[in-house]
Amino acid sequence: MELLWLRSLKEDFIAMNPSLYKKFSNPKKITLHFGQLKMELKAVVRKTLAYDTIGLSHKLHSKFLIPKDVPYEIYNDDGDVYIGPLIAYISLSKYKQLLNQKYVKSLPSFLDYNSVKGVIVICAEDSINLKSGTIEGYYLSKGQKKWKEGIFPLPDAIFNHSLMNQNRISSLQKKIGDKVFNSYRLNLNKWETWQLLSTNSKIAPHLPYTEKYTNIAKVKGLLEKYHSLYLKPASRARGIGQMKLDKERRGISLVDFEKNKLFFKDYQDLSKFLDRKISTNYIVQQAVHYKAKNRHVDFRLVLQKNSDRKWGLTGLVARIAKEGSIITNAQGRDQSILGKKALKSIFGLSDEKAKSIISQMTDIVIEAVNMYEKNGYHLGDLAADIALDPNLHIWLLELQLNYGVNARTTEGLTEFFQRVVSTPFKYAKALSGFTSKNTED
């Protein structure tokens, strides 16, 4: 159905063609839904309207903003009319800093809005009032591709990108149902990830051996076995705090995430250094990597739920580190290229073999994500960091909810970034009930 805003219609009326009115069983009143807002409107017949069009008053208002400069999708369910979708994206930042966020600035240019439509609101945790059922935020005006401020009802669905605590998430879910995804926003703890995933016989062979860092004895035992280790903060992202240890003939070398290099003649000296350096929970992890021209290479696989509410591969990017860097995150990265291209050009694989490796990577990550969802997490958007060793064995290094792709202006990756930005909103639209089947009826 189509929506038409009528200046001649009284504010508490809804208008429709005689045939559509009959299909609705000649109602006296119709309930209109916009997000969690419900309004009872008097039904009136307008012969000038097309069959699949409903009319709402241009003066329609409540304590909430219902934008009139965006295209809506409409469906009816048991005589009620739903317009939308109304989707909220909760940012990591405070409300006052919203418009300064890189992601928010990028959204108007990269979002495939025509595939979503409705009202997309960006807000912050501190702009949500559960008691009054309101969110203060900015909505995307389609025609002008800019953000406009307003107060809105609680939405149909929420794409969470904040550090909101679980009690508040639960309160939101009670209001709108299980339509808050990435509901566990704090990045997945590396040690807890290992503990969970290592119990799965399909995933365990693809996990670098990991233990919780407790003392130098733990490091010594694993370094003697694997010859190369990573020390990683259990909860931090973007490579911050990581250190790489290598056993050498005359001692132990250490390189940190800032490319600082140190050498220790024995474990006693290393122990003294680590005692000073480590002040939070760390893991000790078997080092697995591939080097091309003395540069570390790994992959970031983005997995997202789509408009069919199913997991799908959005894209794979290879990340090539700067020379001497132990991390491939933005700080230590030299360049990013499409994953399939890297598998062919760096690893020398055929097109068919590259596709097979990507398919295997995707299957492993989906298997891992399913374990989290069985434990009560509602996920819809995440990234997996993956290494491929010289024997083409796949290693799952990390799962991240708070991830970046840094592909806005990278040659060849713009379309990938557009898919990464758009797909979660297509999933949110499906969660909202605005499916192709509903809106075409």
**Statement: residue 369 has pLDDT above 90:** yes
pLDDT digits (tens, 9 = 90+) for 158-182: 999 898 888 999 999 999 999 999 9
Per-residue pLDDT at 358: 97
393, 402 Cβ separation under 8 angstroms: no
With a CB cutoff of 8 Å and minimum separation 6, the contacts of 4 are: 49, 53, 54, 55, 56
Q: pLDDT band for 257, please (50, 70, 90 cuts).
A: confident
**For the residues 138-162, what does the mean pLDDT come to?**
90
Alpha helices by DSSP H, listed for 246-350, are 267-277, 339-345
> For the whole model, what pTM was predicted?
0.90
**DSSP string across 180-224:** EES---SPPPHHHHHHHHTT-TTTGGGS--EEE--SHHHHHHHHH
**DSSP string across 102-131:** HHHHHHHHH--GGGT-SEEEEEEGGGEETT
**Statement: residue 413 has pLDDT above 90:** no
Q: pLDDT band for 231, please (50, 70, 90 cuts).
A: very high
Helices (H) and strands (E) in the chain, counts: 10, 26
Q: pLDDT band for 125, please (50, 70, 90 cuts).
A: very high
Per-residue pLDDT at 195: 93
C-alpha to C-alpha distances, 73 to 10, 87, 105, 149, 155, nearest whole angstrom:
22, 13, 25, 21, 15
Per-residue pLDDT at 441: 57
Alpha helices by DSSP H, listed for 241-379, are 267-277, 339-345, 351-374
Let me know the angle formed at the C-alpha of 422 by 421 and 425, rounded to the nearest 5 degrees.
110
Q: Give residue for tokens 């080092």.
A: 287
Residue 412, phi then psi, degrees to nearest 5: 85, -10
Per-residue pLDDT at 186: 53
- Separation between Cα atoms, residue 284 and residue 198, nearest integer Å: 15
- Separation between Cα atoms, residue 146 and residue 120, nearest integer Å: 11
Q: pLDDT band for 402, please (50, 70, 90 cuts).
A: confident
**Statement: residue 331 has pLDDT above 80:** no
DSSP letter for 22, please: H
267, 216 Cβ separation under 8 angstroms: yes
Q: What value does the mean pLDDT of the chain take?
A: 90
Q: The dihedral of CA 388, 325, 418, 396: what is its sign? A: positive
**Statement: residue 140 has pLDDT above 70:** yes
C-alpha to C-alpha distances, 275 to 33, 222, 272, 281, nearest whole angstrom:
59, 18, 5, 12
- Separation between Cα atoms, residue 112 and residue 136, nearest integer Å: 24
Q: pLDDT band for 102, please (50, 70, 90 cuts).
A: confident
Higher per-residue confidence, 322 vs 393:
393
**Statement: residue 239 has pLDDT above 80:** no
With a CB cutoff of 8 Å and minimum separation 6, the contacts of 96 are: none
If DSSP codes are grouped into helix, strand and coil, which group holds residue 262? strand
Domains of the chain: 2-79 (2.40.40.20), 86-181 (3.40.50.20), 209-286 (3.30.1490), 290-404 (3.30.470.20)
In the chain, the percentage of residues whose pLDDT exceeds 90 is: 68
**Statement: residue 408 has pLDDT above 60:** no
**For the residues 122-141, what does the mean pLDDT come to?**
95
**Statement: residue 139 has pLDDT above 80:** yes
**For the residues 140-167, what does the mean pLDDT come to?**
90
